Structure 1
Amino acid sequence: MKIINTIALAILMCSTGLAQSVKLGDVYPKEVKIQGFSVSQSGDVNINGLGAVFEDDWKLLIYYGWIIDADSREVVWHLFDFMKDEDIDGEDGPFKFDDKVSLKKGNYELYFAGMYSNRNWNRERDKDWYFDGFGDTMDWLFGSRRRESYRRSAQDDLFIKVDGSGVKAADARSFLDSKTKNAVVSINKSKDDQRFSEGFTLTGSTELQVYAIGEGSDGEMFDYAWITNANTRERVFEMDYRDSRYAGGARKNLKVNEKITLPKGSYLVNYTTDDSHSFERWNALPPDDIQFWGISVWAEGSDKNNVVAYQEPKTVKPLVALTKARDDEMIAKGITIKKAMDVRVYCLGEITGGDDMADFGWIVDASTRERVWRMKPYKARHGGGADKNRYVEEVITLDPGDYIVYYATDDSHAYGDWNSSQPYEPEMWGITIWAINEADLKNVAPFHPEEYKNKNELAVLTMVGDRALVKKTFSVNEDTRVRVLGLGEGSGGEMYDYGFIKNMDTGKIVWEMDYRNSEHGGGARKNREFNETVMLEKGTYRVYYETDGSHSYRRWNDDPPSNQEMWGITVLKEGK
């Protein structure tokens, strides 16, 4: 018999001739089968079959079954609970089981699985986290190592059967459809590497039942759900590791089943999965309720009347979306703000071990080149996946003016080419800005940064690369105070990338960027920055900027500066 490595879920239907019993068998390793059945009257039902535990290298291959209530989704019988009370000492490989359980009239789902597990599992010891190892419970199942050929021949005979008065087979799919047909949102049977977002709108304050199952360990979530206010992006619900309960099977299977109350508004239900352990393929024992791997939300009673089709707020459309940023990229977009307004900034990037930002965003005033916002490490929160995935989300006020939004990445770990676990929202890698109030949307206009012309601009020599000497000439018709912005490289009291200004009428250098008049410019210590005003007499001037053979714009050999697009020199008229 060929062993299949991928999970196959079979929804089986029995003929009317088997109306008094249901049975599952012929399960491959890493496979789960489901059979629905109904009980027409309350009473005892018999559960019997042949399970097994086989050694397979450093893991165990366990054949076992369980029953859940199709409406409440709670476990009503589990083979593991039966085994801990039975004395089958000396058994090895397959073992018989025969039990009874009292079931109320209703609908049920029978499961039979052949799943791999680590050793040292003990459900009774761990209770709420009942997956830590199989040792004490399973020691009596082993006396010697079984050969692979024995396992393959034995597994053909493994099964679980339920029989009793009033037991009748049913289609488990109909139970799932019935349970979810009136749900506000139901995202279930989620597979690897998926991302879902579904909206709904409430016309008044509403109590909702939230049921979500996912994966988490060591304080982090990998498959999980959250709900956001579509207008403000505020997370009104999140499947948090600390507040989740054990969902059966492997210890990392977690669930939440709780009531929340949300005010009138529009909301987005989100669910994300990583690249392993999902309804598509389990790499450890699956949860008890495998079909609800995802999130489902219900309203009950009169609150159902408050739920209407999703009405997307106009503010959902971003003013700026520099996302899906890839390695070694620097992207920018300009916006003109005609009236002071509040905006929401969301920036998702990478933090290095030294608490420096490797992939990050910032906003500058286009007319003054002053930085008005930057993604700061101390404000960043974990963005899911690898610990270095970090995000900042906050509301800021932008006064009337022109702004340029930037996002830059280093040479590794970005959208489409992660070198570690990706964040929960990989498509948001970058910076996004939304208006808070719908009325403000008419007060924003985009522009292309490369086409922007500052009315106070005298000379701009920026984004300078290695081994360059660039220059630009300008004139002032009267004595003028100018602001000089210089960003370059220096260490040990010397400058290697720097700028200077020469009076062409006198031939004298009137200003030069040196180590002493500059300050640290962010990133590597050798990044030096100058930002001060200088008085220039009436006349003609030439601005120069010179670089050496390393560490310049987009050719950094150490951490780049905070405003890397300013690498060079900028001269602006001051105060007009």
Structure 2
Amino acid sequence: MFWEKVMRVIVLLFLIHILSLLLFAQGTRELEITNIPIDELQLTGFTLRSEKAVSIKAVGGGEKVENEEYRSFMADPNNMFAFAWILNAKSRELVWRMSLNNTRSDKKSSFIRVFDDKIKIPAGEYEVYYSARIPDYTFFDDGFFSFGKLFNKLFKNKEWYEENREDWYIRIQNVDEVIDRETILKFHKALRNQAAVALTDLHDSEFRQEGFNLTKTGTFSVYALGESYRGETFDYGWIVNASTSEKIWETMPEKAEYAGGAQKNSLWRENITLPPGSYWVYFVMDDSHSPDAWNANPPYDALFYGITLTGIAGKFDPKSIEPLLKQKVQPIVEMIRLGDDEFLQEGFKLSAPMQIRIYAIGEGRKGEMFDYGWIVDLETNEKIWEMTYNRTRSAGGADKNRLVDEVITLAAGSYMVYFVTDDSHSFDNWNQAPPYNPVNWGITIYPADPKFNKDNIQKLQEDALAENIIAQIIRVSEGRIYQERFELKRDTEIRVYAIGEGDWDEMYDYGWIESADRGNKEWEMIYEKTRWAGGAKKNRKIDQIVHLPAGKYILFYNTDDSHSFNDWNADPPDDPYHYGITVYSVESD
């Protein structure tokens, strides 16, 4: 099986070489694309045996936008909606394109743009593309509203557009050979087969994953095209170490180059060196703008939209790579398929430090999360991780679908995982487009290392939470006074940990300790000594060491008529499981 794959790679390399020699071998010296359809990318190509000047005549469509303020991420900075361009077939680099700057207008229509000139091109193989879309109008001229443009849009759109479309074409003369679309597509297929991973031919709302094992250090070219704008990515990819789930590379928006076409089309091109190991490559699409149906001008290299990882000749051994098969890893915690107004929790205990992978999908917008999860250390009762908006990225579908996929290290100890959802947009009850992986709405935690020791992980049972507890009143309901008695055989230092509700120097849900014999109050949860408990500002907590003499005591907790465990009227605290009061023994050194 392995050597068969090696032979296939060798054969593919040979085919690519032959294709490059035969590329465009149909004997004509003039290339032409006419009868341009709408929203259907046209493709042909040519070869030059030596550097020469070729003659290009092309007619397309465009309109200058004078005021940049009225641009959008859908707009093409070159102000064209029907245009041609040329790519170098091997480097995938842009060689030439039509723009407003290198074309002239035509008397027939203000929207027609004409290119008629010669350009010098080095020897090589080239691909020629033509794209045409119904233009996205602006009703402004030099920054002012134009009734004339509005009139043309409402009453003349079809007439001028149909007439102009008949004039669109590109003709290139003085080329050595010409090739048709089908031969170029075979060449593309050979390039993909040569790659370690090629996630292309993508569709709206699609999620793709492919992996490989690498036995020797190798250097790879990462070539990715996606969608990003102003710091956010919508169609994007990333590479992770399959053994540790560490993210090796990703399509960071700040590293993106303009990929041609609409402003949102983004290109990432980088060489990376990978040590021996196993790797996963991912790519996710949102619900629009894909090779199926571009909703704006496509990128220049539209047929390679997605991510391609190719070994660099001389820095990579083709025999060192083989496919990586998916392995099912039992999750430590899995709270998924969550509906509206849910609040779930699940605990686990680690007997040794461990790296864990957190995979969560929720709802968020403009820096705020509405469906999200977090983790609390049950020894310190502190929140150690939270699904904040700046940790997330697009999960596909509606923009508010957010995804986090990261690895953290936890010390040995006990942990509680929480996830909360609001009253809308949840599994099987979406009010906008769902994410690409809707069944995982919620949070899942896995061991990051597939070779983890199962004996180091335990599900946390109720009795495991009772270590060192003297008395406890938690997960309290509304409008009640709770009490629990306890006795200290000797003078003792205790730890009091309480979470409640308070505002404006007053507590509404709070606890205290009374002496059972004397009836006097020995300790009370007062607002001035509390601090914010996470979630709504009125959530308050106290964690205090108190010295009590030997004797009998009563632990009390009072709640008002709102905002209690699993019946919150605002965001819950970080540690909702312990809403109430707990008294712990303090072990001496």
Q: Same fold (TM over 0.5)?
A: yes
Aligned pair 1:234/2:246, yes or no?
Answer: yes
Could you tell me how far apart the structure 1 residues matched to 2:323 and 2:510 are?
A: 55
Which of the numbers 40, 61, 72 marks the counterpart of 2:91? 72
Aligned partners of 1:394, 1:51: CA distance in 2, in Å? Answer: 50
Amino acid of the residue matched to residue 296 of structure 1? Answer: T
The answer to whether the 8 A contact 2:210-2:280 is kept is: yes
On the 8 A contact 1:117/1:284 being kept in 2, the answer is no
Q: 2:162 aligns to what? A: 152
The RMSD of aligned alpha carbons is: 4.7
Residue number among 393, 405, 427 corresponding to 1:383 in the alignment: 393
Q: Which of 175, 191, 200 pairs up with 1:188?
A: 200
- Tell me which residue corresponds to 1:115: 133
Find the aligned partners of 1:69 and 1:376 in 2 and give their Cα distance: 44
Q: Distance in 1 between matches of 2:31 and 2:548?
A: 93
- Equivalent AA in structure 2 for residue 499 of structure 1: G
CA-CA distance at 1:184 after TM superposition: 0.7
1:373 shift after superposition: 1.9
- Describe the shift of the 1:93–1:87 C-alpha distance in structure 2 as closer, same or farther (beyond 3 A): closer
* Residue 138 of structure 1: aligned partner: none
More off after superposition, 343-352 vs 440-449: 343-352
| Structure 2: tracts of 5 or more residues without a match | 1-24, 66-70, 143-148
Give the whole-Å Cα distance in 2 for the aligned partners of 1:166 and 1:374. 61
User: Which position in structure 1 is the counterpart of 2:562?
Assistant: 550
> Structure 2 matches for 1:36-51, cutoff 5 A?
36-39=44-47, 47-48=56-57, 50-51=59-60
Q: Matched residues in 1 for 2:86 and 2:358: separation?
A: 47
Tell me the SS of whatever aligns to 2:162.
Answer: helix
Contact 1:45 1:165 in 2 (8 A): no
| Greater alpha carbon shift after TM alignment, 145-154 vs 200-209 | 145-154
Distance 1:224 1:154, change over 3 A: same
- Report what 2:42 is aligned to: 34
| Conserved 8 A contact 2:228-2:265 | yes
The one-letter code matched in structure 2 to 1:335 is F
CA contact (8 A) 1:266 1:312 kept: no
Cα distance, 1:230–1:440 mapped onto 2, change above 3 Å = closer
In structure 2, do the counterparts of structure 1 residues 565 and 290 end up closer, same or farther at CA, with 3 Å as the change threshold? same
Cα 1:276–1:357 change in 2 (3 A) is closer
Aligned twin of 1:456: 468
Whether 2:279 is the aligned partner of 1:267: answer yes
Counterpart of 1:35, as a letter, is L
How do residues 405-416 of structure 1 correspond to structure 2 at under 5 angstroms? 405-411=417-423
Structure 1 match to 2:224: 212
Q: 1:166 aligns with which of 163, 177, 182?
A: 177
418-427 or 219-228, larger mean C-alpha shift: 418-427
Instruction: Indicate conservation of the 8 Å contact 1:523/1:562, yes or no.
Output: yes
Aligned counterparts of 2:195 and 2:326: Cα–Cα separation in 1:
22
Number of aligned positions between the proteins? 535
Equivalent residue number for residue 370 of structure 1: 381
After superposition, the C-alpha distances for 1:475-503 in whole angstroms (9 at most, x for unaligned) are 66777654332211123443211234556
Q: How does 1:124-523 map to 2 (within 5 A)?
A: 145=152, 146-156=156-166, 158-162=168-172, 166-171=177-182, 172-302=184-314, 303-305=316-318, 307-311=320-324, 319-322=332-335, 328-341=341-354, 343=356, 359-365=372-378, 368=379, 370-371=381-382, 373-375=384-386, 381=391, 383-384=393-394, 395-399=408-412, 401-411=413-423, 433-435=445-447, 440-450=452-462, 452=464, 454-472=466-484, 482-501=494-513, 511-523=523-535
- Please state how far the C-alpha of 1:288 moved relative to its aligned partner: 1.0
Contact 2:347-2:414 at 8 Å conserved across structures: yes
Query: 2:317 corresponds to which letter in structure 1?
Result: K
Please tell me the residue identity of whatever aligns with 1:78: R
**Alpha-carbon distance in structure 2 between the residues aligned to 1:352 and 1:63:** 35
In the other structure, the counterpart of 2:577 is 565
Which string of whole-angstrom CA distances, capped at 9 and with x for unpartnered residues, describes residues 291-336 of structure 1? Answer: 1111111003351336423447989765445567665433322222
User: Which whole-Å CA distance do the structure 2 matches of 1:170 and 1:389 have between them?
Assistant: 39
Distance 1:224 1:334 in 2: 33
Distance 1:487 1:148, change over 3 A: same
SS in 1 for 2:252: coil
Q: Is the 8 A contact 1:40 1:105 kept in 2?
A: yes
Report the more deviating stretch, 195-204 or 510-519: 510-519
Which residue of 57, 62, 81 corresponds with 1:62?
Answer: 81
Deviations 1:236-271 (A, max 9, x none): 223233332222122222212222212222222222
TM-score (norm 1): 0.75
Q: For 1:552 and 1:353, locate their aligned partners in 2 and report how far apart those are by CA, in whole Å.
A: 28
- Partner-residue secondary structure (3-state), 2:318: helix
Moved more, 151-160 or 350-359: 350-359
Q: 1:113 is matched by which residue type in structure 2?
A: S
Give the distance between the partners of 2:460 and 2:516, measured in 1 at CA. Answer: 33
Partner amino acid, structure 1, of 2:480: A
* SS in structure 2 at match of 1:282: coil
Matched-pair contact (CA < 8 Å) for 1:19–1:169: no
Q: Cα distance 1:376–1:483, how it changes in 2: closer, same or farther (>3 A)?
A: farther
Q: Distance in 2 between matches of 1:317 and 1:46?
A: 63
For 1:148-185, what per-residue CA distance to the aligned partner results, in whole angstroms no more than 9, with x for missing partners? 23423543564445566532424032122012111011
Instruction: Determine helix, strand or coil for the equivalent of 1:242.
Output: helix
Q: Deviations over 1:78-119 (max 9, x none)?
A: 3338x7255746644556655556667765433222224557
Q: Is the 8 A contact 1:225 1:271 kept in 2?
A: yes
Query: Offset of 1:547 from its aligned partner?
Result: 1.5
Is the 8 Å Cα contact of residues 372 and 387 (structure 2) preserved in structure 1? no
Contact 1:35 1:109 in 2 (8 A): yes
Q: Please give the alpha-carbon distance, in whole angstroms, between the structure 2 residues aligned to 1:440 and 1:281.
A: 44
SS in 1 for 2:239: strand
- Shift of residue 227 of structure 1? 1.9
| Kept after mapping to 2: 8 A contact 1:61/1:115 | no
Amino acid paired to 1:465 = S
Q: CA 1:381–1:539 in 2, change beyond 3 Å: closer, same or farther?
A: same
SS in 1 for 2:292: coil
Amino acid at match of 2:303: Q
Q: Would you say the 8 A contact 1:462–1:565 is kept in 2?
A: yes
SS in 2 for 1:309: strand
Structure 1 counterpart of 2:178, one-letter code: V
Following superposition, the deviation at residue 361 of structure 1 comes to: 0.6
CA distance in structure 2 between the aligned counterparts of 1:109 and 1:354, rounded to whole angstroms: 43
Deviation (angstroms), 1:72:
2.5
Could you tell me which amino acid in structure 1 is paired with residue 384 of structure 2? Answer: W
Stretch moving more, 231-240 or 562-571: 231-240
Conserved 8 A contact 2:513-2:524: yes
8 Å contact from structure 2 (residues 241, 248) kept in 1: yes
